[in-house]
């Protein structure tokens, strides 16, 4: 068995696209040590499946809805890297995300839960770990074309994002009818994904040369479980209608989308830092997602939460 020479740290690697990407990374990179950040039960389910492929897998208990838990997990990784228990780190993958039935769920620290996991947790994790990356390195953040919020990209199932500034959209009840599935939960989701792209753009401006950050949009994927708590028609469509489209180019299965995510992580998919990758190619995200003043304001607010 090849001794590991690189470390990849990954959230959202215990199910769906992330699990498939993790499996593909280990198959294609026997030199990789994969560190999975996730909740205990999820880690316990995923680790045996990953270790069937490679013994070079470890898990660290992480609750992405808790600033303290993220800090503890990051400190654990730092200790392992400093002690030489992990090989040098050259990739961080922020794939975890939530999509809830309303915009009233609250994180341990009082933030709206969708924003806390999809945006704040990404920033906090990168803030701690990016100095430990060995160039050339890649950071990949999974986003969604739901951030367009238009008929072409969502089929009318998702409302447009409603950015009101981070101090507002990070709080429970930020949107009109926040207790409703479409007006609350889905708008919180599309807004958080817009925020994730803003965050990628700002990090791209600040990271040193040789460390790239990319936004990866898997688009429609069946069987990910993301809509399991979204309620309303989203869960119905994902369970019954979207799978019928698997025979078309419009929809991917988790193994296919996972392979595409692995391509981005490994650099097989080439793109400049800050790019938005739709499945397999760099393209433009929404016009609204390119706003340097908004991105600076988001960065400043996130730094205050660190």
Work out the pLDDT band at 250, boundaries 50, 70, 90: low
Alpha-carbon torsion (62, 68, 70, 74), positive or negative: negative
Tens-digit pLDDT profile for residues 185-229: 999 999 999 999 999 999 999 999 999 999 999 988 876 555 444
pLDDT at 240 over 50: no
Per-residue pLDDT tens digits for 88-136: 999 999 999 999 999 999 999 999 999 999 999 999 999 999 999 999 9
What does the alpha-carbon distance between residue 216 and residue 261 come to, in Å, rounded to a whole number? 7
The closest alpha carbon to 8, from 95, 80, 92, 88, belongs to 92
Whether residue 155 is predicted with pLDDT greater than 70 in this model: the reply is yes
Quote the pLDDT of residue 156: 80
Query: What is the rounded distance in angstroms from the CA atom of residue 197 to the CA atom of residue 109?
Result: 23
Three-state DSSP state, 33: strand
Least confident of 18-22, 120-124, 233-237, 257-261: 233-237
CA 64/CA 100 separation, integer angstroms: 15
Structure confidence at residue 235 as a pLDDT band (50, 70, 90): low
**Residue 147: which residues within 8 A CB-CB, separation 6 or more?**
161, 190, 193, 194, 196, 197, 285, 286, 289
Task: Retrieve residue 264's tokens.
Answer: 């981005």
User: What pLDDT, in 10s, does the model give residues 24-56?
Assistant: 999 999 999 999 999 999 999 999 999 999 999
């Amino acid at each position: 068995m090849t001794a590991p020479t690189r470390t990849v740290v990954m959230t959202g690697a215990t199910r769906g696209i992330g699990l498939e990407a993790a499996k593909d990374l280990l198959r294609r990179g026997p030199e990789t040590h994969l560190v999975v950040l996730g909740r205990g039960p999820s880690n316990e389910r995923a680790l045996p499946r990953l270790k069937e492929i490679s013994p070079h897998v470890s898990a660290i208990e992480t609750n992405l809805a808790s600033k303290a838990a993220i800090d503890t997990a990051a400190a654990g990784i730092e200790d392992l890297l400093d002690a030489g228990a992990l090989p040098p780190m050259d990739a961080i993958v922020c794939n975890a995300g939530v999509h809830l039935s309303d915009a009233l769920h609250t994180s341990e620290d009082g933030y709206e839960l969708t924003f806390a996991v999809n945006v704040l947790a990404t920033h906090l994790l990168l803030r701690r770990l990016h100095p430990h990356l060995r160039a050339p390195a890649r950071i990949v953040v999974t986003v969604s074309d739901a951030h367009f919020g238009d008929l072409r990209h969502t089929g009318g199932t998702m409302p447009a994002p409603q950015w009101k500034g981070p101090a507002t959209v990070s709080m429970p009840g930020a949107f009109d009818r926040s207790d409703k599935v479409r007006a609350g939960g889905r708008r919180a989701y599309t807004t958080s994904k817009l925020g994730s792209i803003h965050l990628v753009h700002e990090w791209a401006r600040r990271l040193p040369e040789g460390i790239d950050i990319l936004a990866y949009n898997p688009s429609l994927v069946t069987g990910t479980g993301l809509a399991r708590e979204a309620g309303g028609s989203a869960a119905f469509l994902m369970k019954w209608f979207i799978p019928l489209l698997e025979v078309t180019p419009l929809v991917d299965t988790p193994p296919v989308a996972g392979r595409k995510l692995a391509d981005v992580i490994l650099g097989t998919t080439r793109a400049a830092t800050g790019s938005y990758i739709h499945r397999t190619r760099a393209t433009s995200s929404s016009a609204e997602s390119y706003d340097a003043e908004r991105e600076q304001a988001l960065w400043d607010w996130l730094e205050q939460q660190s």
